């Protein structure tokens, strides 16, 4: 193999056929979600107005593997397996003995990992006579992924986009519309949850979720789709890590020493890392597994592990998770997909149990790393993904100091070609770091319900 051959692919017979469910291997079971009214554990009936039965069962299953339905695999084949690259030129630039690999999800139709779950979600809904899906979107990637999947299965798609993103990222809205979806600025005037806020409010994912859930609950043929956080979403994303394990073996590696992903709601991070965590729990590999978040929305590193709502209005079940408080509205940083007050209960549980680690970085360091990465590897990373790059850079430089030959695996969750405004801010020196103040954190946490 020449030094330039840096991409590792899989043959037809090596393709992933099952998603992996971490719950089957956890030493202790994660705490159950609670009904927002009764505060009792939610049952399948409570979720039925919002989700089709197959997804509800995936939400609670303890089976280790779930087969990927053939119609979903057919769509996956368009862009999967996603490539695993060796970042040789970046390694050289950093002068590190570490071997850096990145799993690139930017090759999907929507440009991010989110298509991995939008396709199965729409598929299962289509089996149940659902004609319309509602959802929220932050930076726009989830809305794009769901809109595309809906167009494949002949379903309507209505998206509430966080106001701050709607105003500053018109191209994202256009892309959702290209794929056939309809976009509303959140907070909108169409829902009670939206009307609780002034029309020019910058919005938040929490508010947008409330709006989408409210409309879905009112109409029998409309259901709701969530792009992150829930167990079934994380399950679908494990196709990333299952492929990465196989590809790493093809690259001649016996395993990873560090696995790094950015974490907003936790889905791309879990998707890459949970199959590695399975190997770690089984004792076949011993990677450090690291979630990276922005200092302006430091859910895992500064939030509290307790029951909180997934949305602002308190319509969703209470989930035991790291949270900054469901009222928390993070500052409008460029990594829109990382601006969520909570974190997937499964990721939260694994962090709380000490199985994985978390760290927070300033966005300026992230963009600096992303520029270096673009100039050596030729890929413009999504601002979210740049958090994983920056942490990998730190690990690679530490390896240069210590002379350690470690294997670093990065989740590159998406491309940033629609986020050039963010790169422009950085290049022209207009990008500011805005770490969360203690007062703002205390005020938001004071609103978390006592359970
Ligand atoms: C949505 C998004 C994220 C954050 O969501 P997770 O559920 O934490 O993965 C990260 N990167 C990209 C490119 C995204 O689109």
Per-residue pLDDT of 63-82, as tens digits, reads: 999 999 999 999 999 999 99
* Closest protein CA for atom 5 of ligand 1: 264
What is the residue with the minimal CA distance to atom 14 of ligand 1? 337
Q: Is 61 left (phi over 0), alpha (psi -120 to 50) or beta?
A: beta
- The structure tokens listed for 400 are 């240069």
Q: For residue 81, is the peptide bond before it cis, meaning its omega torsion is within 30 degrees of 0?
A: yes
User: What's the pLDDT score for residue 8?
Assistant: 83
| Predicted local confidence at residue 6, as pLDDT | 65
Per-residue pLDDT of the chain (451 residues; tens, 9 = 90+): 444 446 788 888 889 999 999 999 999 999 999 998 899 999 888 888 889 999 999 999 999 999 999 999 999 999 999 999 999 999 999 999 999 999 999 999 999 999 999 999 999 999 999 999 999 998 899 999 999 999 999 999 999 999 988 998 889 999 999 999 999 999 999 999 999 999 999 998 889 989 999 999 999 999 999 999 999 999 999 999 999 999 999 999 999 999 999 999 999 999 999 999 999 999 999 999 999 999 999 999 999 999 999 888 888 899 999 999 998 888 777 777 887 889 999 999 999 999 999 999 999 999 999 999 999 999 999 999 999 999 999 999 999 999 999 999 999 999 999 999 999 999 999 988 888 999 988 988 988 888 8
Read off the tokens for 353: 């149990």
Q: State the distance from the centre of ligand 1 to the C-alpha of 382, rounded, in angstroms.
A: 9
Closest ligand 1 atom to 263 CA = 8
CATH for the 3-13+69-111+232-445 domain, from 3.40.47.10, 1.10.1040.10, 3.40.50.1100, 3.90.1150.10: 3.40.50.1100
State the Cα–Cα distance between residues 351 and 26, nearest whole angstrom: 12
Best residue among 310, 412, 414, 416 to mutate for probing ligand 1's pocket (most ligand atoms within 8 Å of CB) is 414
In terms of DSSP H, where are the helices of 36-158? 44-47, 53-60, 70-76, 88-94, 115-126, 141-152
Place of tokens 């998206």: 159
Task: Catalogue the long-range contacts made by 169-172 (C-beta closer than 8 Å, 24 or more residues apart).
Answer: 169/139, 169/140, 169/336, 169/418, 169/419, 169/421, 171/418, 172/137, 172/139, 172/140, 172/141, 172/143, 172/144, 172/418
Q: Could you read off the pLDDT of 178-213 as tens digits, one per residue? A: 999 999 999 999 999 999 999 999 998 889 989 999
The ligand 1 site (C-beta within 6 Å) comprises: 112, 114, 141-142, 228, 262-269, 337-338, 382, 384-385, 413-414
The rounded Å distance from CA 261 to ligand 1 centre is: 10
Q: Contact at 8 Å (CB) between 298 and 269? A: no
Query: What pLDDT sits at residue 347?
Result: 98
């Amino acid at each position: 193999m020449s030094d330039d051959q840096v991409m590792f692919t899989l043959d037809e017979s090596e393709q992933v056929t099952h998603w992996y469910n971490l719950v089957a291997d956890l030493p202790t079971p994660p705490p159950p979600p609670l009904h927002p009214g009764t505060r009792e554990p939610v049952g399948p009936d409570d979720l039925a107005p919002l989700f089709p039965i197959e997804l509800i069962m995936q939400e609670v299953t303890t089976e280790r593997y779930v087969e990927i339905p053939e119609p979903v695999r057919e769509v996956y084949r368009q862009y999967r397996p996603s490539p695993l690259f060796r970042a040789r030129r970046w390694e050289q630039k950093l002068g590190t003995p570490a071997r850096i690999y990145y799993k690139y999800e930017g090759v999907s139709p929507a440009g991010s990992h989110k298509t991995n779950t939008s396709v199965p979600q729409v598929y299962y809904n289509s089996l149940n006579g659902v004609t319309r899906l509602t959802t929220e979107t932050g930076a726009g990637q989830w809305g794009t992924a769901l809109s595309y999947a809906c167009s494949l299965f002949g379903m309507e798609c209505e998206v509430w986009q966080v106001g701050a993103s709607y105003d500053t990222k018109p191209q994202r809205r256009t892309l959702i519309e290209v794929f056939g979806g309809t976009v509303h600025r959140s907070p909108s005037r169409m829902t009670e949850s939206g009307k609780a806020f002034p029309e020019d409010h910058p919005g938040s994912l929490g508010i947008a979720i409330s709006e989408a859930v409210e409309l879905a609950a009112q109409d029998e043929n409309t259901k709701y789709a969530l792009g992150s956080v829930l167990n079934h979403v994380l399950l679908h994303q494990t196709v990333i890590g299952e492929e990465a394990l196989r590809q790493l073996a093809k690259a001649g590696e016996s395993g990873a020493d560090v696995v790094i992903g950015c974490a907003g709601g936790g889905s791309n991070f879990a998707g890459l890392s949970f199959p590695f965590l399975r190997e770690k729990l089984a004792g076949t590999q011993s990677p450090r597994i690291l979630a990276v978040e922005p200092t302006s929305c430091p859910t895992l590193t500064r939030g509290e592990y307790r029951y909180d709502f997934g949305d602002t209005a308190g319509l969703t079940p209470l989930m035991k998770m790291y949270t900054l408080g469901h009222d928390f509205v993070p500052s409008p940083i460029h990594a829109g997909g990382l601006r969520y007050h909570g974190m997937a209960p499964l990721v939260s549980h694994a962090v709380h149990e000490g199985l994985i680690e978390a760290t927070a970085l300033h966005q300026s360091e992230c963009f600096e790393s992303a520029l270096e990465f673009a100039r050596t590897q030729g890929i413009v990373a999504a601002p979210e993904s740049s958090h994983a790059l920056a942490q990998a850079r730190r690990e690679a430089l530490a390896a240069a100091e210590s002379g350690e030959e470690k294997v670093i695996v990065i989740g590159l969750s998406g491309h940033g070609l629609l986020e050039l405004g963010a790169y422009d801010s950085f290049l022209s020196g207009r990008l500011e770091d805005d770490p969360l103040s203690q007062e703002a954190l205390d005020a938001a946490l004071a609103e978390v319900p006592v359970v």
